[in-house]
Amino acid sequence: MRNKLLTLFVAMCSSLFLFAQSDTVQILRSASSPNHTAVSEQTIPMEDTPELQETPDSLVLRRFTTIHHYVDTLITVVSTPDSTAKQREEITYADSADRRGSYVEAHLGLGIGSLGYQLRSPDCSTGPSFSAQLQIQYAQFLSQNWGFGIGLWFTNYTSFAHLGGSYVWNDQTDTDLEQHYDHTSTVVRWRERETIHNLAIPVSAQFQYKKDSWNARLFAALGLAPAFSVSRRYRVLEGEVAHSGYYPKWNLTLDDVHEFGVKDYTNEPCARGKLRVSPQVSLFADCGALLPMTPQVDFFIGGYFNVSLNDANRSEKKALGWKDDTFTFMEEYKGAYATDMASASHPWEAGFKVGVHWHYIAPPKHEIIDYFDYFTVRDTTVDMIAHSDTLVREQVDTLIRENIRKAAEEVERFNKIYFDYDSYLLREESKSYLSSIVGVLNKVPEAKIAIDGHASQEGSRWHNERLAYNRAKAVAKYLVEQGIDPERVIVVGHGSLVPNDENVNHELTLDRRVEVKVVQKQSDVEQ
C-alpha cells in the first residue's frame, strides 16, 4: 500500500512539473479500451510540428510528432439503467385575447319614441315622448370580429295627439225632434296620450373590432326584430268641446241650451280605451364602444335606433262626428289613432344605451401527467499509470464550433417571431419562419437553441411573465412537433423587462415577440 501511494505521488509530481512548462499542450485522448478514458495528457511538441490547415468544408488535418510524458487515468465504468415513476401537474390557460366564443349581453336604453304617425289636419298634431328599452340576448362570435345574436327586448312607444278646429254637421234634428239645424263642435283643448308596449325577438349580425393601440373595442349590431304588443291604450288627458246650433228657420245660433255649450269629455267612457295594433317587424341598429372591465366583462356605451317596417295601425278609421242625442264628440270614439286623419303608423325610437357584455372564458385546465424519470447509475473504478512515449499520428476533426457559428448566422435572419396583443397563438407567417429555422437545425445537429419570450409594457408584471413564457413555450412546441429534439431547446420567459433592440420607435407591437438564437451550452443562456 505504501509503494502504491509513493508511485501515485511521483506520477502527480511529474505531471505538475510538465504542466508548468510554457510549451506544453493538454490533449484529451481516448484509450484503446472502450471502458477506459485518458483523463489528462501532457505533451511537448517537436519543432517540426506543422501549423493547422483548415479546409473549406470545415475539416482540419492535424499532424502530431510529439514526445509524451503523461499519466493515463483508466476509468472503468459499469452503467446500469434505472427509472422512477413520477407525476406532474400541467395547467393550460385559455387565451383571454381570443374574442371568439359565447357572450351574454344586457342593455338598458333611454331615449324618445313615437307611434310614428301624423294627423292630416292643420289644426291637429302629434309628438313623441320618453321611451325606454330593456334588452338581453345571447351572442356567438365565430371569428375575432363577426358573430350573431338572438334575444328579447321590452320597450314602449308613446305619442301625444293634440286635436283642434271646428267641425260642422248640417241638417241635424234637435232634441225635440222638431227643428232642423246645423251642429257645430269647436275643440277648445284636446290632448291625449297613446302608448303601446312591445315584446320583440331581435336577431342580429354583430361586429367588434380593436386595434393594438386601443383600450376599447368598437361594437355594432344590425338586425330584424319581430314584435308583439302586450299593452296598447289611449287616454284623454284634456278634452273640452264647445257645441252650438244654428237654426236657419230663425237665423239664430244657440249656445248653453240643452245639448249646447262647453262639454268636458275627460272622464267620459270614450276618453280611454284600447288601440288596435298589428304585429310589427322592426329594423334596428346599435353602435358604440366596449370598455374592458375584466378579461371576461366589457362595459357597453352607445346609441340605438329601431323603426317598424310595416304599418302598425289596424284600426277601423272613422271621421270625427257625433251620434244620436248623446252628443258624443265622435261616433264611437277610439282615439285620434282611429280617426280618418291618422296616417300610416311606423313606431320608432332612438336613444342612448348602456350595458355589459360577459364573455365565457374556460377556466384553467389542470391535468395530472404520469411519467417515468429515466436515469443511469454508473459505478467507476480508477487506475492511474505513468507513461513516456513518442507518438507520430494524423487525425481529421470536424470543427463543430464553425458549423454552429454558421447556423447562428442563418437563424438570425428570421429569429424574431411576433404575436398579437395579449396572445400566444402563432401567426401563419410565423410558422413559415419557424420551418426555415427547422431546416437550419436539421443540418447542424450539434447546435442548441434558446427561445426567449417577451411581452410589452401593458399589463401587470406577473401577467406579462406568464404571457412571455407561454409565447416561448408555443414556439418550442411547434419546433418539437417539426422533429427537433426537446433536449436541444431551452425556453426562457423575460416578461416585459428586455426591450427589442430593433424597436427604435418604441412600438408596443414590436415588444410582443419571441427571439430564437443558437447557443452551445446552458451557460450561454444564463449570461
Residue range(s) in the chain whose domain bears CATH number 3.30.1330.60: 399-527
**Per-residue pLDDT in tens (0 to 9) along the chain, 527 residues:** 555 555 555 455 544 444 443 343 334 444 433 333 343 444 444 444 343 334 334 444 445 555 555 566 677 778 888 888 888 888 887 787 888 999 999 999 999 999 999 999 899 999 999 999 999 999 999 999 999 999 999 999 999 999 998 888 888 877 776 778 888 889 999 999 999 999 999 999 999 998 888 889 999 999 999 999 999 999 999 999 888 889 888 888 888 877 788 888 898 888 899 999 999 999 999 999 999 999 899 999 999 999 999 999 999 888 877 655 554 555 578 889 998 899 999 999 999 999 999 999 888 888 888 878 777 877 777 777 665 655 555 444 445 566 677 777 777 776 788 899 888 888 888 888 888 888 888 888 878 888 999 998 888 889 989 999 999 999 999 989 988 898 888 999 888 888 887 777 778 888 889 988 887 654 454 43
pLDDT at site 7? 54
Residue 194 near residue 159, CB atoms below 8 Å: yes
pLDDT at site 396? 43
pLDDT at site 323? 59
Residue range(s) in the chain whose domain bears CATH number 2.40.160.20: 101-359
| Rounded Cα–Cα distance for residues 466 and 453 (Å) | 10
Among 263, 266, 264, 271, which Cα is nearest to 243's?
263
Q: Which amino acid is at 129?
A: S
Q: Dihedrals φ, ψ of 38, to 5°?
A: -80, 120
Per-residue cell: 280: 310589427
Residue 243 near residue 260, CB atoms below 8 Å: yes
Residue 335 near residue 292, CB atoms below 8 Å: no
Per-residue cell: 313: 295601425
Enter the DSSP assignment of 270: G
| Rounded Cα–Cα distance for residues 209 and 207 (Å) | 7
Q: Dihedrals φ, ψ of 22, to 5°?
A: -70, -25
CATH hierarchy code of domain 101-359: 2.40.160.20
The residues pairing with 126 across neighbouring beta strands, listed in sequence order, are: 161
pLDDT at site 508? 82
Place of cell 248623446: 326
pLDDT at site 6? 54
In angstroms and rounded to an integer, the radius of gyration of the C-alpha atoms of the chain is 47
User: Whole-angstrom distance between the N-terminal and C-terminal Cα of the chain?
Assistant: 47
Among 463, 450, 452, 437, which Cα is nearest to 514's?
452
Q: Dihedrals φ, ψ of 169, to 5°?
A: -120, 115
Q: Could you give the C-alpha distances from 445 to 9, 209, 452, in angstroms and in order? A: 43, 45, 20
CATH hierarchy code of domain 399-527: 3.30.1330.60
Per-residue cell: 459: 399589463
pTM over 0.85: no
8 SS3 class: helix
